[in-house]
Amino acid sequence: MTTVNHWTPGDIPDQAGRTALITGGNSGIGLETAHALARHGARVILAGRSQTRLDQAAEAVRAATPEARTDTLVLDLSDLSSVRDAATRIAETETVDLLFNNAGVMNLPERRTTHDGLEMTFGTNHLGHFAFNAQVWPAVRRSTAARVVTVSAIAARWPMGRLEDLMSEKSYRAMGAYAKSKRANIVYTLELARRTASSPVEALVVHPGSAMTNLQQHGTGRLSRLVTPIAARLLMGSAEGAAWPSLYAATSPHVQSGWFIGPAGRDQTSGTPRPSKLPTDADDPAAGRRLWVASEQLTGVPFDIEAGAAI
């Protein structure tokens, strides 16, 4: 396992001629990822639910890097018809060299469902990305050196994140649903790495440590309003620093497909990206196969690595 002693976004190699598609690219870690890649020559496609916010984000990237090439893609991961429409647009015409599964929701106080009746947190954070990846796959396969980077979280290690009752129909806890979705991000990515082992595609999964981003907006109640600003000051890093694991996974020549990467600092909240300890049994091939099949069934989207999904 080869790593570097210290890494910053200044070490990103030239990305000219490469296209990056970032879900949740209009804010937080996704936007910081876009800024860094644009500075190093990549064309960035920012994907998110609001065209207005996407336009604002693209303008911000161009303001910081006047020569940046940006595009936007309206994508609502909680609506499989939106996922299909967005994927169709990309799959038909684009070559995607870097695909970031970055968007997510967190800490929804009550169980909610997506447009398609899936539990909202798991449906957005994992199933929406699974369906999007499957249907955008032709664009990824066109690249001669593609990487898929999925953003998980430290929460994936929590015991409440076991991949059982995926739709939280028996019981619902906000952070339990989140932990479950973040563990699914890891199990899915490692299974993707196994299935693409003989192809030019590499699949890596990261956790960003702790940072204040839009994910924290769903906290409710007086305690949450008091604690969140304190946590932001004492425990959490910046969105810019939290993007480092994603950027390292996407661009470093030292990484390998199937790695789980996170910050190496105190309590893994910030610092130079490094390979990180996987949750127990997350790399079990049987678990990966089970999740893949369940994801196809729940979304109704088959994911054939060789052929891509029918759109």
Q: In angstroms, how far apart are the furthest CA atoms of the chain?
A: 52
Q: Is 171 exposed, middle or buried (0-12, 13-18, 19+ CB in 10 A)?
A: exposed
Q: Give the containing element (helix H, strand E) for 251.
A: helix 244-251
Low-confidence ranges of the chain (pLDDT < 70): 1-4, 210-237, 266-269, 307-311
- Which of 172, 178, 188, 248 does the annotation list as catalytic? 178
Cα–Cα distance measured from residue 182 to residue 309, given in angstroms and rounded to the nearest whole number: 23
Return the closest-CA partner of residue 247 out of 9, 14, 6: 9
The CATH class, in words, for 15-299 is alpha beta
Q: Kindly state the tokens that stand for 299.
A: 């979304």
Q: Kindly state the tokens that stand for 167.
A: 């739709």
Q: Give the containing element (helix H, strand E) for 64.
A: helix 51-64
Q: What is the number of other CB atoms lying within 10 angstroms of the CB of residue 307?
A: 11
248 tagged catalytic: no
Cα–Cα distance measured from residue 282 to residue 185, given in angstroms and rounded to the nearest whole number: 10
* pTM more than 0.75: yes
